[in-house]
Chains A and B, each alone.
Chain A
């Protein structure tokens, strides 16, 4: 299930940046809760149900750890709950801890979704447009690293079978490792000659190189991009107007519930649940087709 991942990389990039921007810098609890729940649902949609429990076992304790840390170290706020070692543990610090926990977990979840969706080829494609040479270099590096690792493994096995890891002393071991590494560099350069020949043989260096990619910007990408920019714009304008301002210290402020504020909450809510909706829609359409067959 990766319906959302099929959108154009540029749209995906804009989307992830907008959600992360708001989730990290706007301290309104409604916005942060919707970012967290949108991210959590999206992450679940990307993960096999079998792994949900395993992930939960990581995120839930992390959340509590973050939430508890703040009131232990921060004694701001005007409503002490109890005293610990002579220091007040305040309601405000406690609530703020929970808010930080929501923010941190939300951001981690979104980053996790980002890494699942924005695979290396998408990233390369985006940056290749800006710096064409760089994208080729990155692509070549991604090609080279696994090859280097495999050869290194082979060399170390060959050496083991020649009885060459006999040295007991640390310096001997270090020297041995170092010479293997130097040999690997020589090996890489040797191979690079052939790679260079293969590049030249296929016309690398001729002026007017184009950048090919499998991605195409279609109408649905345009729609998602406009929706995303519109919702982000609304949220940012609302924030700038102070419509969603919220404070924890010294006293927890009241949540703004004017119609305009509710509209703004709704706008960001839609933004953060968008990928989840797309995934669910994709799954439903698929089920429907299967059922019709």
Chain B
């Protein structure tokens, strides 16, 4: 459920609450119409943090890929149960991390497959054998992308891998 149940509201009443802007005051901006800004050199400094982080991100991404492979190998033949659910949750989170880190360090193809795996694991309990085939295809694709260091989403090998996964989805999905 995404809606908020708001016990503080009175039924049938819409309250519009205008809050004093403490943040502006804290920053020393005394005129209501004056605008604060983050200086461009500070923004450039933060952008450099992203670039610096990108190098480590690739390494960290590799660790998450390893975790996904290990968990998938443990989980794929397991019967439904709490342990399986727990491992599926781990794969879901780690696939999400792969997507985030890969996006950060410019590994767009890995980000793409990380997202596909995360969303697929999130949508199914993998109780049907066909679903396992699709997950396996996605895990394999991530592994290949990482090993061969294919970054670009429009690389010829990327097209081939995406076609392989699509074939699994078309056949078993």
- Is the pairing of A and B real? no
Residues of A within 8 A of B (CB): none
- Seen from chain B, the residues whose Cβ lies within 8 Å of a Cβ on chain A are none
